Amino acid sequence: MAIPVSYNLRNLVVRKTTTIVTALGIALTVAVLLAVLALVNGLKTAFQSSGNPLQVLVMRKGSNAELSSGVTRAVFQDLKPMTGIARDGNEPMASLEMVTVINLPSVDSPAGMNVTLRGLLPMGVKMRDGLKLQDGRWFGAGQREVVVGKSVAKRYPGARLGQRLKFGRGEWEVVGVMDGGQSSINSEIFGDLNQISSDFNRPDGLSSVLLRATDEATVPALINTLNDDRRLGVTAQTEKSYYESQTSSGAVLQYLGIFISIIMAVGSSFAAMNTMYAAVARRAREIGTLRVLGFSKGGILTSFLLESLLLSAIGGVVGCLLVLPLNNLTTGVGSFVTFSEIAFNFRVSPGIMLTGIVFALIMGMLGGLFPARSAARKEILMALRDI
């Protein structure tokens, strides 16, 4: 015969102090895990939202990042007439670009953080689908003007609309703020290619070329042609695959967070175990009475295990509530690929919250199994004597 669930709920209410303390310990453990998962999820979302499956990124052979790549203007001129490149009117959809980093004081680090600066052609702006101006206007050709991503404007006080940034050979005016949706463009600063390359003494030592293929079927053929052409000395890949490979920046954080959560989970499981063992000791006569009334050992084991799961479920729900305020909170991490800060938002998804609840239930299962077995194995007479 099964023991009613109301019995377990009443016990949790009656012993509210121990219930709150144990549930809070589980909640904090769950909150740490979910915060890390939300951070990694936000970083992945930023990179996975970047790029167009029709676009091909061309870098110097052997390079794995635009920052360390080098492409000349002569190579760019050789690439533009290639078969398979889409056209915007009479102009091929190809953008020669230069990527470097500049240091700016941020809200988190007055000493400064590296920010990606991208010099590009007007076609390069046009090729960023979904990119739009949030405020101001686009930079002018040949002018020391820049447009900053909305995350840069938010995290770097000196990079807001109307401010002047000092890098290269002089000062640059922030004339616009751009919105790239959820993409990593929000963490970049755009400016005129020729002016930026001149200021950094790199008139011909540029970084990459962005090409748009005519259709999806053309993309693999275009990549193979570029990779096989020894004369060009370049390597090509889809723009999306390039950005997705940069999610490795969050791998270290994810592993470290999971490791810390596991350590905390062990402690929380022992706390739940101690709580349940104490409950078994205090309720020895109750257990004996339940046996006299005809409840089986299996029923008692299930009842105490269910009580532990209820306790952990409460902790899991509280942990989810604790981490909810982080949703859409803007933060940033340094990328090991670009050596600059990537700004993104925490993403607390339903899947992540479900993971937290399951994680809490596992802690409750581990913490309640042995005390439940102890309760089920008590002999009737010994339990009634409260020994």
Listed by start position, the domains of the chain span 5-47+249-384, 54-215
Under 8 Å between Cβ of 222 and 114: no
pLDDT number for residue 387: 46
DSSP H helices, 247-385, are 251-282, 284-292, 297-323, 350-376, 380-384
pLDDT number for residue 274: 72
Instruction: Write the CA distances from 110 to 13, 27, 113, 151, integer angstroms.
Output: 49, 34, 8, 17
What angle (nearest 5°) sits at the alpha carbon of residue 214, between those of residues 210 and 219? Answer: 65
pLDDT number for residue 165: 94
Under 8 Å between Cβ of 86 and 127: no
Q: What is the DSSP string of 138-187?
A: PPPTTSSEEEEEHHHHHH-GGGSTT-EEEETTEEEEEEEEEE-TTSGGGG
State the pTM of this model: 0.76
Using DSSP bridges, classify how beta strands 188-192 and 113-120 pair: parallel, antiparallel or unpaired. Answer: parallel
pLDDT number for residue 338: 62
Mean pLDDT, 10 residues at a time, over the chain (387 residues)?
66 77 84 85 78 92 89 92 91 95 86 90 92 94 94 92 92 95 89 94 91 93 92 92 73 69 74 67 61 65 78 90 89 66 83 90 79 63 52
Q: Whose CA is closest to 44, among 323, 260, 245?
A: 245
